[in-house]
Amino acid sequence: MARKKPRLATTSLAGCFGCHMSLLDIDDRILQVAELVDFDKSPIDDFKEFTGRCAIGLVEGGCCNEENVEVLRDFRKHCDILVSIGDCATMGGIPALRNMVPLQECLDEAYLNGPSVYNPSGKVPDDEEVPLMLDKVYPAHEVVKIDYHLPGCPPPADTLFAALVALLGNEPVELPYQLIKYD
């Protein structure tokens, strides 16, 4: 009887998709991954919603708005193991540079006062379609429980591959020295 493959979900929250690029950077080993798992909700197969329980969820990016929080909680609910990938998920990353500046000042600079701003309305966008920004950018583990962290900007392709193979083989993720990097 063919064993059902475990499912893998991925998402990019407040990130730049660089970590997903790094995932593609495992080159032809993506075929090995495809043999080991089926992709569920992920930009890789463009599934917008979860179709069921997932063994592993990979989270790129931290939370900068309420939509990020919703998606992250949804991932926690559907995934047995949740992994933060990249510096944005593990520490906030570049988006968190705004954490040292009050939110109102950030919005004013971006939409009203910045040197290159053209905004005849003179207003900060507040359409209800636009997700509400959080006061700060939060690393994923400050919002939900995260089981493993793979730092890096982005994490090296080898790091992502090694961790995936270990997790899918029910082994502990023990990365060699060269595969833990913060840059």
Residues at the site binding other proteins, with contacts judged by CB under 8 A = 84, 87, 90-94, 96-97, 99-100, 136, 139, 141-142, 146, 148-151, 153, 175, 177-178, 180-183
Spell out the residues 6+ positions from residue 62 whose beta carbon is closer than 8 angstroms to its own. Answer: 13, 14, 15, 68, 88, 89, 91, 92, 93, 95, 96, 137, 138, 139, 140
Nearest to 149 by CA among 82, 98, 97: 82
Closer of 102 and 131 to other proteins (Cβ): 102
In whole angstroms, the minimum distance from the beta carbon of 183 to other proteins comes to: 4
Rounded CA-CA distance 14/10 in Å is 13
Closer of 1 and 100 to other proteins (Cβ): 100
In whole angstroms, the minimum distance from the beta carbon of 170 to other proteins comes to: 19
In whole angstroms, the minimum distance from the beta carbon of 36 to other proteins comes to: 22
Pairing of strands 133-138, 63-65: antiparallel
**Residue 113 DSSP one-character state:** I
Closer of 18 and 33 to other proteins (Cβ): 18
- Helix/strand/coil percent split, the chain, to 5: 40, 20, 40
Pairing of strands 63-65, 38-39: unpaired
In whole angstroms, the minimum distance from the beta carbon of 99 to other proteins comes to: 4
Closer of 8 and 156 to other proteins (Cβ): 156
Q: What is the SS3 assignment for 11?
A: strand
In whole angstroms, the minimum distance from the beta carbon of 130 to other proteins comes to: 24
Closer of 118 and 177 to other proteins (Cβ): 177
Cβ atoms of 42 and 10 closer than 8 Å = yes
In whole angstroms, the minimum distance from the beta carbon of 79 to other proteins comes to: 18
Closer of 55 and 153 to other proteins (Cβ): 153
